[in-house]
Structures are given as C-alpha cells and as structure tokens.
C-alpha cells in the first residue's frame, strides 16, 4: 500500500510540474474539473457518497468508502480563443493541447476515520496574443525627445503572454459521526509553479506558494444524500523577475529598470452545495450550486522587491459568481456506469474592468463519461466535455488615452469567441 501511494504521489507531482495549466474562458481562471467522474457529470459531485472521483469535490465522502484507494489520471484540454477587431481576427497562440494532473489517495484508519491526500489544478490560464492584435496599443509612434530627436516609442503596453499554473495539494481527514453523517477538514497548499505577465513593454516571470483550508459535510440516508464543501480564499505570494523591453522608456522613467519583483495573487473562496437522489438501483440524479468569491480578485500590483516601487497595476474588481450543475449516473451493470452532465457558469468579470489577459465569458458545459471495473479493485474512468462560451462583444467602458492600466478601456475592444474540448482518463485501485 505504501509503495503504491508513494509511486502515485511522485507521478502526480511530476505530472503537475511538467503539465501546462489550461486557459479558461469562464469562471475567471478557475478549473472546476477535478476528476474524471467530476468532468463526466459537469462537476455535480459534491453530494455523491459512492464515486471515488467525488472526494476531490467533497472530502467528507471519504467516510462512506469502506476501503483505502488511490487514483491517478489526467485532464487533456483543447482550447480555441479569438478576438475580432479593427485589426481583423486574431487567435490566441496558446498550445492547442494542454494537460493537468488528477490524483487522490485515501487511507482507512478505522471505522470512523479516513485520511486523504489529493493533487489537482483548480486554477490556471494561458493566453498568447500576437503583436499588433490591438491597434490602439500596438506599433510605434514618432516622438520628438530633447537630445535624441525624433524617436520611435511604443503606442501602448499590449499584453502578449499570460500564464498561470497553480497546483493544489490537499491533505484532508474525515470523520464518520454516525451511519448517516460525516465531516471533513483539510488544507489547500497552493503552488504557483509559474506566473507570467508579459507584454510588449516588459516581461514578468515568477513562482510562489500560498495556504488555505477546506471543510466538507455529507449526509446520507437511504436513496437521498446532501453535500457541502468550502475552500477558503488564499493569497499566493509570487516572487520573480521584472525585465523591461524598451530601454528608451527606462531612460525617460516611463518604465522601471529591471529588478526582482513580487506580487500577491488573491485566489477566491469556493462554496458548493448539492443534493443527490437515487431514483432506483441504476439511476441517480444530482443538482449542485456553486458560488465562487471572485470579489477577492481586485488588483494585481507588481512591486519592486528591494526598491518598494510600484512597477505596474491592473484593476480587476471582479464579482462573485454562481453556477448550476446537473449530473446523472446510470449503472448499465454492476461494473459499468454511464455518466452525463450539464452546467451553466457565469462570468464574474464586469465590462468596467474587462481584461484581455483573461477574457472571461458565460458558458455552458455538456459532458458524458463512463466508468468500468475490471476486478481486483481496479477501475478505469473516462470522460469528455464540450464547453460552449457565449460570445462577448466588448466595446470598452473607458476611452483609451494612453493610461497604463488598459483593463476596461477601448484599447482592447473586440468580439471575443471561444470554446473548449476536455478529455479525462483516470485509473483507480481499491484495497
């Protein structure tokens, strides 16, 4: 058991370190798909006491599993994002296929206690806009400068690459209070493996860690079950290097000189409530409500680590969002389960602070999946999800007149479109 757990943890962490975090076009930069089972049911899993894949959504579910287990898998994401404006149509150049790890281990201590360890990627993004995507902040203009004469200077600060990879390592413990009720608690150790904020004027790359906590509750009686899960807000302290790309602007003190830098990345809290009912021995339905505290994500301020100088600032001022999720499971036979799901997720990004780094949109999620048991405790699960985003024809709330913070301005106006294809594969073993 220990050897299997050790090997699985090592594989999950190695995969998490090498895999790319996906770009998302809704729910901000959150990635709600935490397991193959969750992806297959559009993430309606918080009240499921049976599926191992539900533990990543609500660790209180561990208490209703009579065996220890380990699960290892991956999410594969295909992303399409574009913007159409005065420059024509531009596609984000982010890699077409990206991966994220899925890992969950549970150890039965006794009849009441379980301990667990998970690793997943609840937050991530990547956009890569080619140069000249946004005309008002692209290219150069000639400016007469005393001592230098007519000098070409950039028109603005166009975002080019935005990358965030956040791995969440979650040690948890659950306690079965009685036959019907369980509770759990744990930590969320966030590791931002890479945070990149590049633009036409400067590059910023760094990494960092943060700590949060989580709670779970589950009630089960006969065919009915209720679940609740909460993950606290957290702050990831990112340390990195700031590199200006235009030395003339540095000389003119329009850009800070190169230096080590730091920023605080505020991650939102997450609340999920759900109810599940087994209509008969084969068919069960679950309805979940998710609330994400995006109001925590207000600003990104980059500070010189030694100088204490504010290098750059992006205002976000996002709003809390809701999602409604519906999941169905159907047991074709004792070893084979089909899964279906639908979800509607809101964007928390207001027009007043719309960002081309994270062009967020409302979306609908459609999913299907299967779980197949092979005996001796082995199960293989697979799922597919299609994410249809609502086009966002953003015109800009504030005229662009050369300000540094371009969020919410006409500089990034355009019709943003996107969709996603997600696949999941997961193998589990119960002991």
Read off the CATH number of the domain in which 349 is found: 2.40.160.60
- Output 371-375 pairs: Cβ under 8 A, ≥24 positions apart: 371/36, 371/37, 371/51, 371/336, 371/337, 371/339, 372/335, 372/336, 373/334, 373/335, 373/336, 374/335, 375/335
The answer to whether 193 and 298 are in contact (CB under 8 A) is: no
Cβ contact 218:212 at 8 Å: no
Indicate if the pLDDT at residue 15 is higher than 50: no
The first and second tokens of residue 250, run together, are 């540095």
CA pair distance 71, 197, nearest whole angstrom: 34
Tell whether the model's pLDDT for residue 11 goes beyond 80: no
Predicted pLDDT of residue 344: 96
Q: Report d(CA 10, CA 12) in Å as an integer.
A: 6
For residue 246, what are its two tokens?
A: 């235009």
Q: What are phi and psi of 354, to 5 degrees?
A: -55, 140
pLDDT of 28: 73
Closest-CA residue to 172 (of 184, 159, 181): 184
308: exposed, middle or buried (C-beta count within 10 Å: 0-12, 13-18, 19+)? exposed
Query: CA end-to-end span of the chain, whole Å?
Result: 8
Extended beta strands in 60-201, E state: 69-85, 88-91, 97-108, 113-128, 140-145, 149-154, 159-176, 181-199
CA distance 294 to 50: 31
Residues 6+ apart with CB under 8 A from 392: 347, 359, 360, 361, 415, 416, 417
Q: Total domain count for the chain?
A: 1
What are the pLDDT digits (tens) for 31-48? 899 999 999 999 999 999
pLDDT at 7 over 50: no
Residue with token string 């209703």? 64
**For residues 134 and 131, what is the distance between their CA atoms, to the nearest angstrom?**
8
- Flag the least confident range among 42-51, 176-185, 220-229, 395-404: 395-404
Q: Give the model confidence (pLDDT) of 109-159 as tens digits.
A: 999 999 999 999 999 888 899 989 999 999 898 988 888 889 999 999 999
The pLDDT score that the predictor gives to residue 27 is: 65
Question: What integer is the mean pLDDT of 21-36?
Answer: 71
Q: Which two three-digit tokens encode residue 54? A: 């539900």
Mean pLDDT confidence for 344-372: 93
What is the SS3 assignment for 241?
strand
Nearest to 83 by CA among 288, 326, 354: 354
pLDDT band (50, 70, 90) for residue 1 = very low
Kindly report the average pLDDT of the chain as a whole number.
Answer: 90
Q: For residues 252-257, give the mean pLDDT.
A: 90
Q: What is the pLDDT of residue 99?
A: 86
How far is residue 241's CA from residue 108's CA, in Å, rounded to a whole number? Answer: 45
Average pLDDT over residues 399-424: 92
Q: Can you give the pLDDT at residue 358?
A: 87
Whether pLDDT at 23 is above 50: no
pLDDT at residue 63 tops 50: yes
In percent, how much of the chain has pLDDT > 70?
94
Range of the domain at 229: 2-430
Highest mean pLDDT among 26-35, 88-97, 202-211: 202-211
Range with top average pLDDT, 90-99, 157-166, 221-230, 344-353: 221-230
Q: DSSP assignment of 7-36, as one string?
A: HHHHHHHHHHHHSPPPP-SSSTTB----SH
Which of the four pLDDT bands, split at 50, 70 and 90, describes residue 397?
A: confident
pLDDT at 14 over 50: no
Q: What is the CA radius of gyration of the chain?
A: 23
pLDDT at 326 over 70: yes
Whether 55 shows a pLDDT value over 70: the answer reads: yes
**Whole-number Cα distances in Å, 225 to 26, 64, 173, 278, 282:** 29, 11, 20, 9, 16
Distance CA 162, CA 412 (A): 15
Given a cut of 80, is residue 388 above it in pLDDT? Answer: yes
Per-residue pLDDT band at 10 (split at 50, 70, 90): very low
pLDDT computed for residue 45 by the predictor = 97
Provide the whole-model pTM. 0.90
Stretch 171-181: mean pLDDT: 97
- 175, β-bridge pairs: 113, 183
pLDDT at position 18, please? 40
* Nearest to 412, CA basis, from 156, 201, 134, 154: 134
State how far the Cα of 292 lies from the Cα of 319, in Å rounded to an integer: 9
Distance CA 130, CA 244 (A): 18
Containing H/E element for 54?
Answer: none
Mean pLDDT within 5-30: 48
């Amino acid at each position: 058991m220990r050897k299997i757990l050790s090997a699985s943890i090592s594989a999950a962490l190695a995969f998490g370190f090498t895999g790319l975090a996906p770009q998302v076009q809704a729910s901000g930069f959150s990635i709600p798909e935490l397991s193959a089972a969750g992806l297959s049911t559009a993430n309606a899993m918080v009240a499921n006491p049976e599926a191992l894949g539900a533990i990543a959504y609500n660790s209180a579910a561990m208490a209703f599993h009579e065996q220890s287990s380990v699960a290892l898998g991956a999410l594969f994401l295909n992303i399409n994002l574009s913007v159409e404006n005065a420059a024509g149509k531009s596609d984000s150049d982010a890699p077409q296929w990206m991966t994220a790890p899925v890992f969950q281990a549970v150890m039965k201590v006794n009849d009441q206690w379980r301990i667990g360890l998970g690793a997943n990627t609840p937050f991530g993004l990547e956009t890569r806009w080619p140069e000249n995507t946004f005309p008002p902040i692209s290219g150069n203009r000639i400016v007469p400068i005393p001592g230098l004469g007519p000098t070409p200077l950039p028109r603005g600060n166009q975002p080019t690459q935005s990358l965030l990879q956040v791995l969440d390592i979650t040690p948890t413990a659950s306690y079965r209070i009685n036959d019907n009720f369980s509770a759990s608690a744990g930590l969320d150790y966030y590791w931002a493996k890479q945070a990149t904020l590049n633009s036409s004027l400067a590059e910023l790359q760094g990494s960092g860690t943060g700590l949060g906590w989580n709670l779970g509750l589950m009630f089960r009686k006969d065919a009915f079950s209720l679940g609740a899960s909460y993950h606290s807000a957290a702050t990831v302290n990112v340390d990195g290097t700031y590199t200006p790309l235009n030395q003339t602007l540095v000389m003119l003190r329009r850009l800070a000189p190169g230096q080590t830098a730091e920023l605080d990345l505020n991650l939102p809290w997450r609340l999920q409530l759900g109810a599940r009912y087994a209509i008969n021995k084969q068919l069960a339905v679950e309805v979940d409500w998710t609330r994400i505290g995006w109001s925590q994500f207000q600003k990104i301020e980059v500070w010189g680590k030694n100088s204490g100088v504010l290098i750059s600032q992006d205002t976000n001022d996002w709003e809390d969002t809701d999602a409604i999720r519906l999941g169905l499971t159907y047991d074709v036979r004792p070893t084979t389960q089909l899964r279906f799901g639908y979800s509607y997720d809101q964007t928390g990004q207001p027009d007043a602070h719309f960002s081309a780094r994270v062009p967020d949109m409302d979306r609908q999620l459609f999913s299907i999946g299967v779980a197949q048991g092979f005996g001796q405790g082995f199960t293989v699960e697979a799922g597919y999800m299609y994410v249809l985003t609502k086009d966002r024809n953003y015109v800009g709330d504030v005229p662009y007149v050369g300000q540094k913070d371009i969020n919410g301005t006409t500089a990034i106006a355009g019709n943003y479109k996107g969709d996603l294809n997600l696949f999941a594969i997961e193998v589990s073993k119960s002991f």
